Amino acid sequence: MKDGSILIIGIDGPAASGKSTVSRLVAEKLGYVYVDSGSLYRGMTWKAVREGVDVKNTDDMIQLRDRSNWEFFVENRVVRFTIDGEDPGSQIRSEAVRERVSDVAAIPEIREFIVSQLRDTARFGDLVMEGRDIGSVVFPEAQFKYYLDADPEERARRRHQELVSREEESDVNKVLNSLQRRDAKDSGRKTAPLQIPLGAEVINSTRMSIDEVVAHIVSEVVAKRN
């Protein structure tokens, strides 16, 4: 930990497990750069929806990938990007994107492209990166790996509250059904399925607060990196 090399903290887990909030706070407390890997898949999905491309048509999606120009930068210690000069912003959180992103993420050629972009973000310095295959595919050599999980009902409650806070219509039962479909797609895809990375510590946050999870991870990193 003292050789000056880039330090990577990979936090994986299913949708609405709390990994985004935890990762942002861990990065903030450690002074690292935060990377939301899912935002890249959602960005590609946003671009497809915007241009009317069928996300289930692999050839069309590959063509979209090849003609799109991505630029990455760091703002307030968060990696952000533009696609063809446009910042998709909060539009990547729309229902249209949420319901299609698993199909996009299942395309091997899209995953290959995004994994390459994610690895390149190490040029920005020490990272906290969250996603579904960070510790298993993107950075299998990461010094710290965590798999953050929670019961499906708790995850649905959290996502429901998140949607309500953004003044979006939400029904907790529909959210639960959507998460279960997402879990099935993410775990069942042939390329880089959602799984617990080798060597990762599993944290079940069902009965833990965000602050408790963050404190646990930060204390471990601080203890081991010195």
pLDDT of residue 4: 52
Average of per-residue pLDDT values in the chain: 93
3-class secondary structure, 178: helix
Reported as a pLDDT band with limits 50, 70 and 90, residue 10 is very high
CA distances to 17, 35, 73, 103 from 80, rounded to whole Å, are: 22, 8, 5, 22
How far is it, in rounded angstroms, from Cα 103 to Cα 109? 12
- The most distant pair of C-alpha atoms in the chain lies apart, rounded to whole Å, by 51
What is the set of domains in the chain, with CATH numbers? Answer: 8-209 (3.40.50.300)
Give the distance from CA 105 to its chain's centroid: 11
DSSP structure class, residue 204: E
- End-to-end Cα distance, the chain: 7
Which pLDDT value is given to residue 192? Answer: 81
How far is the C-alpha of 226 from the C-alpha of 221, rounded, in Å?
9
Per-residue pLDDT tens digits for 90-141: 999 998 998 899 899 999 999 999 999 999 999 999 999 999 999 999 999 9
Cα 110 to chain center, whole Å? 15
pLDDT band at 1 (very low <50, low <70, confident <90, very high): very low
Spatial contact of 136 and 190, defined as CB atoms under 8 Å apart: no
Condensed to tens digits (0 to 9), the pLDDT of residues 43-57 reads 999 999 999 999 999
Helices marked H in the chain: 19-30, 37-51, 58-67, 95-98, 101-105, 108-120, 152-165, 172-188, 210-225
Q: What is the pLDDT of residue 104?
A: 96
Closest CA to 50 of 15, 100, 118: 100
Checking if the pLDDT of 13 tops 70, the result is yes
pLDDT number for residue 3: 44
What average pLDDT does range 165-174 have in this prediction?
84
Is a pLDDT exceeding 90 seen at residue 186?
no
- pTM for the full model? 0.88
